[in-house]
Amino acid sequence: MGEVALAAKVTHVPSMFISEMEGPHQGCREPAINGLKKIGDLCRERGVDTIVISDTHWLVNAGYHINAKPDMSGVFTSTEFPHFLNNMPFHHVGDPELGQIIADTATQNGVHTRCHHDVDTLDLKYGTLVPLRYMGVEDEMKIVSVAGWMYDAGLEESKIVGESIREAVEKSDRRVAFLASGSLSHRIPPNTDVYDHLFKISRPLNQATDLMVLDMWTAGQAKEFLEIFPKYAQDCDGEGGMHDTAMLFGLLGWDGYTGKAEIVTEYFPSSGTGQCNVLFPLST
């Protein structure tokens, strides 16, 4: 029987890439990079063989979609931030078998989901690629990337997908890490101001709300968080509608979850948005 061995909410800010480079911003995202490195180390310590990532940079229509193609190698340049994230090589291997079990399970549970493992031209998005880079993961662990930006679905459906991911893992023989890859608040400033906000939040209210949510997570108040979750995702412009977070809490047990989260990277603003790396202990 398979097992979810790790669950986390992670950042994928492209400024981590320029943090590596010589220049005025070298080292600017070192805490975020170190947090992802710790999560990668924990995956290795816990014997993880497949990483399932809900990617809020993958926008889909008409159902839920999974990328589990066997060969996930290439060179990536972001169309959104090509001045930050460009010519980044990557080498990953997909897990078609687990991807298909997840798709079949979610569909049986009422949310139509397709797994794509034979479309060579279906590319990964940087919500998948950036965390893996700083976790130090290449082809020693397999990858399943789940679309986490749902144009026409509700958070309840993503909750069911999260529950289905855990159910599918337990049907398999895999040890899995689940990553919800996305920010907290996600209001990017207007173009006239965005260059002044690399280290700033766009609205003080967003930061105050983000910090309140983190306090709820670390206090084990999942039920209280989920009561405000839809309003929070809407009013603070949660990235991708925060479908990654709905999948995460579905996988954890939704409002029955009582675990106290551990902040691995302290909250930081980035280009107007609120970011963090957070581990969620798993109940058996």
- Mean model confidence pLDDT for the chain: 96
Cα separation, 234 vs 242, in Å, equals 9
pLDDT tier for residue 38 given thresholds of 50, 70 and 90: very high
**Which of 7-11, 25-29, 251-255 is the least confident region?**
25-29
What integer pLDDT is reported at residue 198 of this predicted model?
87
pLDDT tier for residue 195 given thresholds of 50, 70 and 90: confident
pLDDT tier for residue 265 given thresholds of 50, 70 and 90: very high
Give yes or no for residue 196 having a pLDDT over 90: no
Cα separation, 249 vs 184, in Å, equals 14
Mean pLDDT for the stretch of residues 216-230 = 98
What's phi and psi for 23, nearest 5 deg?
140, -170
Mean pLDDT for the stretch of residues 33-53 = 98
Contact between 3 and 176 (Cβ < 8 Å): yes
What contacts 149, CB < 8 A, 6 or more positions away? 55, 56, 57, 58, 59, 60, 239, 240, 241, 243
- Put simply, whether the predicted model's pTM sits higher than 0.95 gets the answer yes
What contacts 54, CB < 8 A, 6 or more positions away? 146, 147, 148, 178, 179, 180, 181, 182, 243, 244, 247, 248
For residue 212, the tally of other CB atoms under 10 A from its CB is 13
Cα separation, 274 vs 57, in Å, equals 16
CA angle 264, 267, 268 (to 5 degrees): 125
Q: Which domains are assigned to the chain?
A: 3-279 (3.40.830.10)
